[in-house]
Structure 1
Amino acid sequence: MGGVAVAAAAVLALAGCAGSSGGSGASGSQGPRELTVWLMNGSAPTALTDALHKEFSDGHPGVTVKYEVQQWNGIQDKLTTALAGNDAPDVIEIGNTQAPKFAAEGVLTDLSADEQALNGGQWLSSLKASGQWDGKQYAIPFYAANREVLYRKDMFEQAGITAPPTSRQQWLDAIAKLQAKFGSDPDFQALYLPGQNWYALLSFIYDEGGDIAKQDGTKFTASLDTPEVQKAAEFYKQLVEVSKTKAPKDADEQTPEQAGIFGGGKVAMMIGLPWEVATAAKSNPELTKLTSGFPIPSKDAGKSAPVFQGGSNLAVPATAKDQDLAKDYLKLMTSAKYQSEFAKAGMIPGTSTDVSALEADPVNAAMAQASKSGKSVPATPGWAAIEAGQNPLKDMLTAYLTGAKDFATAAGDANAALNKAFAG
């Protein structure tokens, strides 16, 4: 989840997997058994799951995998109901921003003792953190993605920009050159940046050394009213102004869909996910070869800004009928053999550091580079409600960018809304 899952559903197309059995052998009671697995639509296509389930069944005689693909729309309520009863699935996928809610409710199995067996040494740190609650590990990384700056190589070349920016100042300089070259066209936008792209704001906040909230044990307190967050908001506003973006200040990157705007051919850059290139190219196939990407630049020259890492985790419900069998399934799914298929599909593997398949493509390579400093949102149960409703960060940005509120007032109001959600 966290901005990744819905888009992932539209793009993932993994190659089939084959090879020797990676199962750890049958566990629990013997005889015919059934393992129920819920994965989300788009997370792992049929080619991968068919191969994995065959290998798992071959390694566990008498076991049938009952595989059910779930839809993201309404999944939180469906999981809440299933996990509260005695007929829960044995393995589930949950968005990384949902994981703390279910962990705190005590409906997930503690997997802390299984970390080493589940390839824990290579877990993506941001997803690992999102699966923790009160010092224990209740969900493990599955896959992830993060945002980058997608740009038109041909426009950069025509504007005399010889290399992608590697600092905020170079980014601003590039915008100035693009405006000088193409600005006479009233429809041109150097950077399409809507007023509520809070994912981009998070990168600027992290880069300034700030955060959304401070943590004390299992308690979180919003921390948007800080100099670091103010500097991040000011840079966001500067980007909006110097790029002369025509994006609405009261909507996010999906309203309207920014990939469609980029596909119109009058935009040089947008901050987005790698697969948005394919969406943009539906209206202009040439964009696939004309577009590349670079990590969101840091204020410190030569560095990239930390990024919000969205993605999914895997977990075993506390009421799963055969937890040992479920853990065997996790061992296979998190093995390098299957995790490598996510990299081939343009996703960041959750339990493997091998991103060589991503590095072969410039757009995916930028995401892989930025993922090394990825972070997740506060690991609090309250974040699930924030994601399901109107994110206070969006309201803060719109109020500040439109001048409806000064920064201190906008940040104070957002803090109050966040703290209410955290307490709930």
Structure 2
Amino acid sequence: MSKSIKQGSGMPLVVWVMQDDFSSQTIEAINKEFTRRTNVKVEVQVQPWAQISTKIMTSLVTSSPPDVLDIGNTKLASFAQSGGLADLSRYKRQFDNHDSWLAGLAEAGEFDNHLYGVPAFGATRAVIYNKKLWAQAGIVQPPATYKELIDDLNRISEVHKSDKDFSAFYLPAKNWFLAMQFIWDFKGNVFDKSSGVFRPSMSSKASLRGLQEWRLFQNSYSSKASRVADANSPDMAQMMAENKTSAIFSNSASLKRISEINPQISQSDLGTFPFPSALPDRQSRNEVTYSKNKQPAVLSGSLWAVAARSPNADLAAEWISIATGSYIQRKYLFSADKWIPNNTNDVKKVLTTLPESDNSKGFFEAALLTSSTPALPLWSHIEEDSSMKEMLVAIASSRKDGGGAARVFDNHLEDLLKRSGDEK
């Protein structure tokens, strides 16, 4: 226990936990250890997702807010900007593995160069493929490079060339997660902050190279109808369960869903691997070679934060230090809740325990190289207004280089920045 923490005086520490984020046994284990150390009880309040942003914002301005809050990694910046969250920078060294937090969570937890959110757990996306369909094309191992992936998909496309409804790799254009990875892979980004302020950069040379390669991949291996489709319309897992595709890019929940829809596809029939880097390692007139690097993955997950008006900041930090420590991360967040631990050290240890046949390995491998969407309060608005999805549909559906659609999107971002005051 930190020397600055005093023993409890009888008032409970109030913790808000989002519905389905943590099992009851995980929370009980954290609370038991916390009470043992501090003699302070914990009052856990499980929150439904409906209207949660409004509820959190309202609670943070009251005189008695919750002490600890479970906040999604893309939502934290708006609450930090409002002044509703406590700066946790002074506690950082007491958190286990603070120097090896997954980048996609660590970046999301900082705002204006201060720590406001401590990584709780991660979840990522990877390629899910049907081993039986790949075996029919003579493929028995997942690809290690982008060239191998392209070669494999070409072989699968050839086997199924008579089936006009089949996609070797079903990829709806509005599923922006993989497009984002292509952009990062080619060293582009949604915003550039090299000048010290945020500037839209989707139409930059690097971002456009990523978008062009994404379009080529999408157009080559997914159906024409998918160029205007969203991730759940039609459902990607449903497409795979009906054997209309041999691969999708999705999260771990899709593994179970595929087998539930079609019990003839068992979990042993499904495999996963992180999407390989499409950035050429060497390029000449006659040959393009690729390394075994992986694309930076978009990381979802949650962060623990402390209300700025909480009178129990030291106790709250102690509770978070237990929740984010390696013991809880590996024994509960991974083993019980099936989440990805919040740091690369524990992810690597988990990978050593997974058997070769475990079909979740690809998600943990992808988690070792992650990035984050911009830590800007307006990012939630960008996700909700569909502007990025509209850009990707325009690019996927066009024979042009995508520059026009990207510039339209950049102009939209510039307008949002000016209206929100988020440039810094």
Distance 2:373 2:254 in 1: 22
The 5 A counterparts of 1:71-220 are: 71-119=48-96, 120-215=98-193, 219-220=197-198
The 5 A counterparts of 1:306-345 are: 306-340=296-330, 341-344=332-335, 345=337
Does residue 70 of the first structure (1) align with residue 62 of the second (2)? no
**What is the CA distance between 1:52 and its match in structure 2?**
2.1
CA deviation map 1:227-282 (0-9, x unaligned): 22222222222222222425533332122321122111221000111221111111
Distance 1:179 1:95 in 2: 39
Q: Find 1:379's aligned residue among 369, 375, 379.
A: 375
CA contact (8 A) 1:86 1:319 kept: yes
Does residue 267 of the first structure (1) align with residue 259 of the second (2)? no
Distance 1:161 1:218 in 2: 48
What is the aligned partner in structure 2 of residue 296 from structure 1? 275
Distance 1:259 1:271 in 2: 10
Distance 2:254 2:222 in 1: 22
Change (3 A) 1:404 1:75: farther
CA deviation map 1:104-144 (0-9, x unaligned): 22211111111110121332222111111222111111111
Structure 2 residue identity aligned to 1:46: S
Change (3 A) 1:351 1:65: farther
Distance 1:179 1:147 in 2: 23
Q: Find 2:345's aligned residue among 349, 353, 370.
A: 353
Q: Identity rate of aligned residues, in percent?
A: 28
**Unmatched runs of 5 consecutive residues or more in structure 2:** 279-289
Does residue 235 of the first structure (1) align with residue 220 of the second (2)? no
**What is the CA distance between 1:386 and its match in structure 2?**
1.8
**TM-score, length-normalised on structure 2?**
0.88
What is the aligned partner in structure 1 of residue 285 from structure 2? none
CA deviation map 1:200-230 (0-9, x unaligned): 0111111111111112587311101122222
CA contact (8 A) 2:200 2:414 kept: yes
Structure 2 residue identity aligned to 1:170: E
Distance 1:372 1:305 in 2: 10
CA contact (8 A) 1:190 1:268 kept: yes
Structure 1 residue identity aligned to 2:118: I
Moved more, 402-411 or 231-240: 402-411
Distance 2:344 2:52 in 1: 27
Q: Find 1:277's aligned residue among 235, 255, 261.
A: 255
Aligned residues: 400
What is the aligned partner in structure 2 of residue 5 from structure 1? none
What is the aligned partner in structure 1 of residue 282 from structure 2? none
SS in 1 for 2:307: coil
Distance 1:313 1:145 in 2: 12
SS in 2 for 1:224: coil
**What is the CA distance between 1:406 and its match in structure 2?**
5.8
CA contact (8 A) 2:131 2:140 kept: no
CA deviation map 1:272-301 (0-9, x unaligned): 112211111111233311000111011233
**What is the CA distance between 1:320 and its match in structure 2?**
1.0
Distance 2:7 2:417 in 1: 42
